[in-house]
Amino acid sequence: MEGVDHLAFERNKAQFDVDAMKIVWAGSSHALEVSDRMSRLVASDPAFRKDNRAMLGRKDLFKNTLRKAAYAMKRIIELRLSEEEASMLRSFVDEPAFIDLHWGMFVPAIKGQGTEEQQKKWLPLALKMQIIGCYAQTELGHGSNVQGLETTITFDPKTDEFVIHSPTLTSSKWWPGGLGKVSTHAIVYGRLITDGQDHGVHGFIVQLRSLDDHLPLPGITVGDIGMKFGNGAYNSMDNGVLRFDHVRIPRDQMLMRVSRVTREGKYVQSNVPRQLVYGTMVYVRQTIVSDASTALSRAVCIATRYSAVRRQFGATDGSLESQVIDYKTQQARLFPLLASAYAFRFVGEWLKWLYTDVMTRLQANDFSTLPEAHACTAGLKSLTTSATSDGIEECRKLCGGHGYLCSSGLPELFAVYVPTCTYEGDNIVLLLQVARHLMKTIARLGSGKKPVGTVAYMGRVEELMESQSDVQKAEDWLNPNAVLGAFEARAARKAVACAQNLSKISNPEGGFLEFSNDLVEAARAHCQLIVVSKFIEKLQQDIPGKGVKQQLEILCSIYALFHLHKHLGDFLSTGCITSKQGSLANDQLRSLYTQVRPNAIPLVDAFNYTDHYLSSVLGRYDGNVYPKLYEEAWNDPLNDSVIPDGFQEYIRPMLKQQLRNARL
């Protein structure tokens, strides 16, 4: 029935202050207020409708995206929204679009790599969107290996210009969002060449299209790379291909904060540390980790609400069937994902702090934490995006057959999210970068310099190689020290085992390739340790609200013990715990699922998502699923007519055994 909350009985079970948990999730009462206001502003405006995205053809979908982006900009100006509010509004519009790259990559690159003079020239235009930019780095032949880019950017001292050229087919820029049809400008990365010398990859601001008629400028070939995975999904984004045929740009369009080319053609390093370039990368990756918690929490919210609505089996006397969420098999798949959403939220908060700290240190010429920041953001980007893409798909399965419907919201969410596993760094390549950091850390242990940050535990490596867990009963696994000790010992032992294997190989790079699978596993163990430790650190803070801290403690234990159980082979083979202790961890995990069960719906309500943002019939706040599913089916264009197009030409002749006369 309309207006009835079919999940009210679940919400009444809450054993904690849901409003207080909303503040914890948002990060602050201010963030919650802004988020709540912007999400409702978008949800209440018919111009931001998105329930028909999956049914639109590519051209209509793309045009609709352009309309929404322009309308969002109009509303931002009319309402005089702050930068924070504007960013929040754009996120709740919830549609991949050219503006994502403009605000997320183009503007930060100018801020991070442009000189003061360049920022004064370009940022006012970009911030008012009088120019629209993208980030053209990836090429047809090179993605992860940035140093292998083939685009050449050669200085011509006669004209004081750079000449940009795509010498091969594989040097074509390929994938940049916003490039295909919209962007007027791009940050283009290519090999800087002066007087025949290759100085490696550098960035340049390049105009691509006329600001009068939007046609590509001379020497530029640009277009869209074609349809991508899913119905609507990322097909609202004009991912592009770009080729240059000896295109000339002024010398001052090289991003010159870190290095520059003089009028005479001399390549000069500035007094600004080159490491500042990494600031943009750290910023983007910490944003991706925060976005992972958002995407996973949306899927978990849908699956949890539907699991409470759906009833199946269990009725023997005419009573109601059992709620699917009460089955232990459902809980064992769903609740670890709920715990992961919260875990990723908190590690994302910590990464924001880390980014701020790193940038402050870089400004003061302190580069000591940069390798740590690079490794953390690389590893956590890999860990959280892989877990989230897998988690969204698991949530679809948790919703049974109905989860496969576009109206469930889950196929669309998965199709939009899954490219994060490859963009901004392939996830396996990133874990190998973390592994290199771990191997360097172990190699330096004998120098007397103690490791800091997330590898500080390596300073106790001798102790961790010998330590034994003292867990004797299931409840002992609720002790954060017991959990942390096991995860530290596992990470340390896997890393040391890799280092020992590498030491036996005369060729270091050959050894790295040979043991790359082991190194990936060691890096993953290290990253899981980071997530567990940051969740535990969060619990050590003052967390207001009745029962809030207790629920977070339960979720923290679920996250840790689920991964201990999932990777039990690691913990046993490295001798961190005994098989009996592993069995006790699983016993405790079952108990934790029972404890979280009455709070499951309130815990996803704390995400504070509107029905518009979830865009899911199965995840509706009021739980009124079945009437809405039925109604949604009749909205499909195929149901516009009772007899389908093509019946007379193809089906009727078949039924009448007249196929020879059919118009085939």
Contact 409/431 with Cβ under 8 angstroms? no
Beta bridge partners, 136, equal: 188
The CA distances from residue 95 to 72, 176, 452, 507, 642, in Å, are 12, 16, 40, 48, 33
Alpha-helical (H) ranges within 256-402 are 277-309, 328-363, 370-398
Beta bridge partners, 188, equal: 136, 204
How far apart CA 406 and CA 636 sit, in angstroms, is 11
Cα dihedral across residues 371, 374, 379, 384: positive or negative: positive
Cα-based torsion angle of the residue sequence 559, 563, 564, 567 in order, rounded to the nearest 10 degrees: 180
How far apart CA 435 and CA 451 sit, in angstroms, is 15
- CB count, 10 Å around CB of 8? 11
Q: Which amino acid is residue 369, in one-letter code?
A: T
How far apart CA 126 and CA 112 sit, in angstroms, is 14
Residue with tokens 């100085």: 199
How far apart CA 298 and CA 60 sit, in angstroms, is 26
For the question of residue 424 being annotated catalytic, the response is yes
Q: Does the annotation flag 177 for ligand binding? A: yes
Pick from 301, 330, 292, 323: which is nearest to 408 by CA? Answer: 301
How far apart CA 41 and CA 37 sit, in angstroms, is 6
Cα-based torsion angle of the residue sequence 240, 246, 252, 254 in order, rounded to the nearest 10 degrees: 50
How far apart CA 8 and CA 11 sit, in angstroms, is 5
Q: How many residues does the chain have?
A: 664
Cα-based torsion angle of the residue sequence 17, 22, 25, 29 in order, rounded to the nearest 10 degrees: -110
Pick from 182, 160, 220: which is nearest to 99 by CA? Answer: 182
Can you count the helices (H) and strands (E) in the chain? Answer: 24, 11
Residue of 10, 393, 394, 424 with catalytic role: 424
Annotated binding-site positions: 138, 177
Annotated binding-site positions for FAD: 138, 177
* Active site residue ranges: 424
